Chain A
């Protein structure tokens, strides 16, 4: 089952390695991971997405909480959290396709952030479903390159 774990951690060298080490030592693959500083520069916010069952998740949360560098850790429930991901998509535009391509981008509220004679770079933010749908639609134009930021999450309320 896909899980989203949200942590606040000390913003210092080694903290990330300590956290990811708990996953790798147990053979758990990280689906995505984002880290960045919070409003408090001594703290980082981290969002980790993993595929785990309930029992493994409970154990892992406790192990994460045990780390001295981890200040808070929770598994967020999709219903009680806002989850967003950023996508950059470089897509080819053949002559005669430009208008249709831009219109479809508009439907998703994607923005064009780079223009070249052969391609556009589109930027899209949204939850996972929206990003997946967007990719499916744009496959027909010929995807040159695709980068996803990995999910960031925040509990509601």
Chain B
């Protein structure tokens, strides 16, 4: 059999995994692989910082539904990737990350650009490998891709010492992956699914709480069917946005700390909570003891470790969301054909009418202002112009929450945000990655002025590939969410949240050969976005918005989710007692 070099095996394995594009940054310990990539079929996108390479691979994976690939050199290259890997880990994004490593003979000698990368990334990867024989390379890469995309997806890192890249061995491609300690359960227990169906039928006030698992499993259609068959309102998490259309009559929009008032009320008053592909995050539940206190709980998730982690549930179903929902929907249709009574119809109608009343009482709202641009209005304009067909990426902070609240989501895989880790600087590189996956869709990076400054060097990548991104900076000259917390919880002492000294972002865009606009007045905004938002070239919009606008509703940390501070004028708390909301 013909011998192949490690680098040749690397490229051949990536080809067999169907990898078309990788995001990375070269350096000494990974130069052999970069030499092999020179002129190879696989496209390498040179990011300007390794953190951005990891975020771009994340954006690519989420927009495409496939596995994103990032690579960097040893030492600082690898440590710079860590934020992006940790973000992908928290959000269960399938990614394979390759890092160069010093030659195996030098490992442990404090060699130049050496770091214990498998040690550093162990708690923020699904699994990781240090390859010590070229003979193990093909099997390792095969396993890495398999682990990344199956079960609960996540990032897998492969550390490649330089000598392993350079030595030769016979190439044997393992057709099968054999991992005796890894057996994801895909099909839910039929008895538990039947039990869930009966519980759904018996409930008088059911609510669906749907998350990122709906999107990861491609189960949005099954979720819509479930909601419609059994007439159940649907609240999504930040990660679940796009998994259920915002404009659907059964949509409750987002729940949680900055969720809609009506989603939080519905969850708090429901008698059955159907949790689908979610992990009962503290930003969703608020005070755990007061979360859906009257409800029986069904929890569908592919990861058994999520069951009973934060909240005890009554009917756990471990399995792939799409598969479980398919069976559950059939079961429900069968049951409903027999048991759909006028009483059942009346109960559902009463519950949905109650919810409609809550929706009317406190929709997401803000005071429009003719003198100053309101950030929420910017998002509404983007939603109107794109008609929900764009892919949105965001940074982390107030702009992220406004985007989540005011965009009208239509499709899964059109909302890409750093949810669990909350990594500022995510938006621009993730948008770059998303474009390589879906160049057919308009892509808009909604950025905060604080976050944007963390990865704005990636404008060079936008310029290099003429990526027709639209970068919308919601610029309030503050670290807005920090300022909001300081205003509410720290008596307005704005410690280190002031960004008055900021660059002229439009000029920065121009410095990279891109077009940039600065927008200061409401009168300019609508026309400009109408004209330029769907243009076929990259454009940056630096939009100066109301500096001290807050994100409402807001559940103070540790409070029950009914204890919302609702804006915009004269913030007040909604009383918790049932009588007062009837």
Contacts and interface: CB of A to CB of B under 8 A. Distances in A.
A14 interface: yes
Nearest to B304: A62
B303 interface: yes
Interface string A12-51: 0110011001000100000000000000000000000000
Contact of A14 (B130, B304, B308): B130
Interface of A: 9-10, 13-14, 17-18, 21, 25, 58-59, 62-63, 65-71
A25 B182 contact: no
29 contacts: A9-B181, A13-B130, A14-B118, A14-B130, A17-B119, A17-B122, A18-B122, A21-B122, A25-B123, A58-B308, A59-B308, A62-B304, A62-B305, A62-B307, A63-B305, A65-B304, A65-B305, A66-B303, A66-B304, A66-B305, A67-B127, A67-B181, A68-B127, A68-B147, A68-B181, A68-B182, A70-B181, A71-B180, A71-B181
B302 to A, nearest CB: 11
B394 to A, nearest CB: 28
A65 B182 CA distance: 9
Nearest to B180: A71
Interface string B305-322: 101110000000000000
Contacts of B308: 58-59
Nearest to B151: A66
A14 B122 contact: yes
B179 interface: yes
Contacts of B128: 14
A59 B308 CA distance: 8
Interface in B114-145: 118-119, 122-123, 126-128, 130
A71 B182 CA distance: 8
Interface in B495-527: none
A68 B305 CA distance: 13
A21 B123 contact: yes
Contacts of A13: 130
Nearest to B182: A68
B139 to A, nearest CB: 13
Nearest to A73: B181
Contacts, number: 38
A10 B181 CA distance: 8
A69 B143 CA distance: 13
Given A62-B304, A70-B181, 19 more contacts: A14-B118, A14-B128, A14-B130, A18-B122, A21-B122, A59-B305, A59-B308, A59-B309, A62-B305, A62-B307, A63-B305, A65-B304, A66-B304, A66-B305, A67-B127, A68-B126, A68-B147, A68-B182, A69-B181
Nearest to A43: B180
A25 B180 CA distance: 25
A17 B181 CA distance: 16
A145 to B, nearest CB: 31
A14 to B, nearest CB: 6
A21 B127 CA distance: 13
Contacts of A63: 305
A67 B123 CA distance: 11
A28 to B, nearest CB: 14
A14 B128 CA distance: 9
Interface in B296-338: 303-305, 307-309
A124 B122 CA distance: 38
Contacts of B307: 62
Given A14-B118, A14-B130, A62-B304, A68 B123 contact: no
Contacts of A70: 181
A69 B309 CA distance: 22
Of B128, B180, B303, chain A has the most CB atoms within 10 Å of the CB of B180
A138 B437 CA distance: 72
Of B128, B304, B305, chain A has the most CB atoms within 10 Å of the CB of B305
Nearest to A61: B305
B307 to A, nearest CB: 8
A25 B89 CA distance: 16
Interface in B140-176: 147
Nearest to A64: B305
A131 B304 CA distance: 38
A112 B271 CA distance: 68
Contacts of A25: 123
Nearest to B119: A17
Nearest to B308: A58
Of A10, A14, A18, A66, chain B has the most CB atoms within 10 Å of the CB of A66
A24 B182 CA distance: 23
B116 to A, nearest CB: 10
A63 B123 CA distance: 12
Contacts of A65: 304-305
A17 B119 CA distance: 8
A66 B89 CA distance: 14
B39 to A, nearest CB: 35
Contacts of B179: 68
Contacts of B305: 59, 62-63, 65-66
